[in-house]
Amino acid sequence: MSAEDRNVEEEPAAAEVAFQVWGVKPIAPVLLGVLCAGFLLWLVLATSPEDKLVAGAGVCLSAIAAALLLTMRQRLTAYRDAFAVRGPFGAREVHWATVTAISAPTRRRRGLASTSLEIELDDDGLLVFSRTELGTDPTDVAAALRRWWRAAR
């Protein structure tokens, strides 16, 4: 079982492990790859120019989305003295000393509730992560990050 698949309750204390990783679940890029293959098949079989245009756009968009999700497989990694945020164009390391708050607020809009992970930095920066980016409940990730943060102080 990988570190990102374990529940927070099952994870050892932050001081006992070298790092902890959260990221997009592997099924998301796979599903987009299948969608891309479907669009590609449609592109090959299409006879009208309109169908070819729509299928070609579908191939391009689904391929780009799958590639971006593949780069976010390890979106957030916590270490003893810092955490790393990875995106499609590189990674950023943030030291725990620059963190001012970690929260997981739930917001309701039009009858739907969504929870996100928010990490406030001392330079007025705000890092926001969704459930999709983390691959698990942001509340659990916030609790784990708070343990790493307290251990680093």
Residue showing tokens 């739907």: 112
Looking at the fold, whether 83 and 145 belong to one and the same domain comes out as yes
pTM for the model:
0.75
pLDDT at 35 over 90: yes
Looking at the fold, whether 91 and 21 belong to one and the same domain comes out as yes
CA 46 – CA 126 distance, rounded (Å): 46
Nearest residue to 149 (alpha-carbon basis) of 12, 13, 11, 6: 13
Mean pLDDT calculated for residue range 40-59: 96
CA 102 – CA 94 distance, rounded (Å): 13
Looking at the fold, whether 77 and 55 belong to one and the same domain comes out as no
Q: Where are the alpha helices (DSSP H) in the chain?
A: 27-45, 49-71, 131-134, 138-152
Looking at the fold, whether 138 and 92 belong to one and the same domain comes out as yes
Q: Longest Cα pair distance anywhere in the chain, in angstroms?
A: 64
Which pLDDT does position 16 carry in this prediction?
65
Measured at the alpha carbon of residue 38, what is the angle toward residues 51 and 64, in degrees to the nearest 5? Answer: 90
> Containing domain of residue 41, as a range?
27-70
Which pLDDT does position 4 carry in this prediction?
42
Q: To the nearest whole number, what is the mean pLDDT of the chain?
A: 87
pLDDT tens digit sequence for 85-135? 998 888 899 999 999 999 999 999 999 999 999 999 998 899 999 998 999
Confidence tier at 34 by pLDDT (50, 70, 90): very high
8 is a domain residue: no
β-strand partners of 119: 102, 127
Which pLDDT does position 6 carry in this prediction?
44
